[in-house]
Amino acid sequence: MSKKLVAWFSVSGVTAKVAREIATVESADCFEIVPEAPYTAADLDWTNKQSRSTLEMTDPNCRPATIGCVEDMAQYDVVFAGFPIWCGKIPNIVYTFMESHDFAGKTVIPFNTHEGSSQSHSQRDIENALPDATVLQRLHVAAIRGDVMPDDEAVRRRYIDVVARLQLSVAHAIFLHVHERRVVIRLAIAVET
């Protein structure tokens, strides 16, 4: 059985909550991508062309410093990589994480949260950033509406059962979309070849 890691970057806590749920369902280890200099509300004001996040996102070479790294990355076969979509893009701090670790031969399953930006080009961007990894493609399987993970135990159990069934025959990814303060959980699968 492969060893799994869920790594994520989150400022608002939404992506972190999703990541912890995935880690629970997948029995995976966790790693939070933490900025050396924490983001403030002013830093995240995307309407301000001089805010930290806007400046970072307009500079493709910007790699914000992070605290710590994954110990013994070699032990993981599968890495779930989670992040919010900022200005239609993957936050540059996620590239800091990807460039600081060896992903050669690993299966990477990206997931993200956003407030209407959509996936943008995140799949292509991760594939380009990690050419020696297998980045799973997404196919829509099901959607459950709720607060990050459903509070209703029956719905939650159905979700976990679907994940368990998928593990028997296919690799899968979980993508989350924040829209109107609700999260749509989409199980996406890629048939193993």
Residue 103 binned pLDDT confidence (cut-offs 50, 70, 90): very high
CA distance 140 to 44: 31
Residue pair 28/82 in contact (Cβ under 8 Å)? The answer is no
pLDDT digits (tens, 9 = 90+) for 144-172: 333 344 445 555 555 555 555 444 333 34
Region 128-147 average pLDDT: 61
Question: What digits encode the pLDDT tens for the residues 37-67?
Answer: 999 999 988 889 999 999 999 999 999 999 9
pLDDT at 25: 79
Contact (CB, 8 A) for 188 and 140? yes
pLDDT tier at 114 (50, 70, 90 boundaries)?
low
Asked whether residue 76 carries a pLDDT value surpassing 60, the answer given is yes
Q: What DSSP string describes 68-97?
A: ---TTGGG-SEEEEEEE-BTTB--HHHHHH
Mean pLDDT computed over every residue of the chain? 75
CATH architecture of 4-136: 3-Layer(aba) Sandwich (3.40)
Q: C-alpha angle 133/10/116, rounded to 5°?
A: 90
Q: Which sequence spans correspond to the domains of the chain?
A: 4-136
